[in-house]
Amino acid sequence: MSRHAVLRINLKAFMSNLNIVKKYAPKSKIWCVVKANAYGHTIKAALKGLRNTSGFAVLEMNEAVFLRENGWKGPILLISGFFEKSELSEICQYKLTTVIHSMWQIEILKKYHVTQPIHIYLKLNSGMNRLGFDKDNFIHAWNELYKLKQVSSVTLMSHFSHSNSKRSVRKQVKIINEIANKIQKIPLCLANSTAILLHPETHKDWIRPGIILYNNFEPVMTLESKLIAIQNVRSKKFIGYGKSYYSRFDNTIGIVSCGYADGYPYNINSSGTPVLVDGIRTQILGSICMDMLIVDLKLCPNARIGSI
């Protein structure tokens, strides 16, 4: 490999983060959310690092199929439900749980001959105003599903729009409880990442950690490369494209073999962004190039060509 940019996934960090989530909600089962290719960390890595979860929640059918074909036998939740009638055959084939958030999905399910009953997560719009039945229509949707032979079980699912706010969560929980009290013993799946951390009263039967599995406790992903050049820059000189950084003092800079072609965000406010060189925290200087970026080495006197 001629270039040095490498993306590393720490499976032990995955495991550690999941264990921390379990400590926050010890009585709840866990849907590890691995949508969008596990937030860019790859489904393959997530399957290895999060194998002690109760189940996986995905967005697309191909993610669910990948999990099944790579040995996952536990529950899988289609977190936004099915998009086409044709997907119901795969839901049955791969034994998936699906969200129902709209009446059109129920109408399709009514007419579909399933090979085995399907577990349903019925979404209540308790304040997010994105997907789901409002409180005036949820009970009707639940009654429609309850009488279908195509349905194995129904769980009430909802999503918090502002989990950092106790007032907002309390308002939504009031609506959820109002509905849940009308349906005896209906399982509940409410808490997203922030609610898991801040609102233990929302944990219920299942929780849905997403972003906290990847970087809230211990970062799972590391973008790593090496210094390919070191330059001594005199004071009162510009560095990099567009004269975006002006060096007021004599400085030593390092050129790293990594840029936006390798996934480093081009539009990030680069100057001042922290980066480690030989384990020492320093900063990026100037604009991100396609295949290079520039780092400040004044705090890294032992840096050399090949330093990581």
- The per-residue DSSP string of 88-137 comes to HHHHHHTT-EEEE-SHHHHHHHHT---SS-EEEEEEB-SS--SSSB-TTT
Q: What is the pTM of this model?
A: 0.90
Q: What value, to the nearest 5°, has the Cα angle with vertex 211 and ends 210 and 215?
A: 140
Q: Is 110 a catalytic residue?
A: no
CA 129 vs CA 5, 159, 179, 231, 248: distances in Å? 42, 10, 17, 54, 51
Report the C-alpha gap between 41 and 13 in whole angstroms. 12
Per-residue pLDDT tens digits for 156-208? 999 999 999 999 999 999 999 999 999 989 999 999 999 999 999 999 999 99
Q: Which of 12, 85, 241, 246 is catalytic?
A: 241
- Above pLDDT 90, what percent of the chain? 89
51-158-19 Cα angle (round to 5): 25
Q: Specify the pairing of strand 227-233 against strand 251-256.
A: antiparallel
Specify the pLDDT at position 270.
62
Q: How far apart are CA 19 and CA 283, in angstroms?
A: 32
Say what the pLDDT of residue 100 is.
98
Single out the residue of 58, 112, 105, 63 nearest to residue 83, CA to CA. 105
Identify the band that residue 62 occupies on the pLDDT scale cut at 50, 70 and 90.
very high
The 10s digit of each residue's pLDDT in 19-37 is 999 999 999 999 999 999 9
Q: Worst-scoring range by mean pLDDT, 2-11, 117-126, 127-136? A: 2-11
**Residue 241 annotated in active site:** yes
pLDDT (0 to 100) of residue 269: 61
Contact 141, 160 (CB under 8 A): no
61 assigned ligand-binding residue: no
Using 50, 70 and 90 to split pLDDT, how confident is the model at 265? confident
Using CA atoms, how far apart are residues 264 and 5, in angstroms rounded to an integer?
10
pLDDT score of 267: 77
d(CA 132, CA 123): 5
**Domain locations along the chain:** 9-216, 225-296
- DSSP letter string, 209-268: --GGGTTTSS--EEEE--EEEEEEE-SSEEESGGG-EEESS-EEEEEES--GGGT--TTS
Return d(Cα 240, Cα 258) in angstroms, integer. Answer: 14
Q: Give me the pLDDT at residue 263, please.
A: 86
Taking the chain, what is the end-to-end CA distance rounded to the nearest angstrom?
A: 16
pLDDT digits (tens, 9 = 90+) for 228-253: 999 999 999 999 898 889 989 999 99
State how far the alpha carbon of 160 is from the alpha carbons of 43, 99, 107, 175, 302, in Å: 25, 16, 27, 12, 49
Instruction: Write down the CATH number for the domain with range 9-216.
Output: 3.20.20.10
Cα(188)–Cα(173) distance, integer angstroms: 11
For residue 128, say whether it is annotated as part of any ligand binding site. no
The per-residue pLDDT for 112 is 94
**Of the listed 35, 44, 95, 135, which one is catalytic?**
35
Pick the CATH number of 225-296 from 2.60.40.10, 2.170.150.70, 2.40.37.10, 3.90.480.10: 2.40.37.10
For residues 113-130, average pLDDT: 96
Neighbours of 92 (CB within 10 A): 17
Mean pLDDT of the chain: 95
Q: Which residue has the higher pLDDT, 266 or 120?
A: 120
pLDDT for residue 156: 98
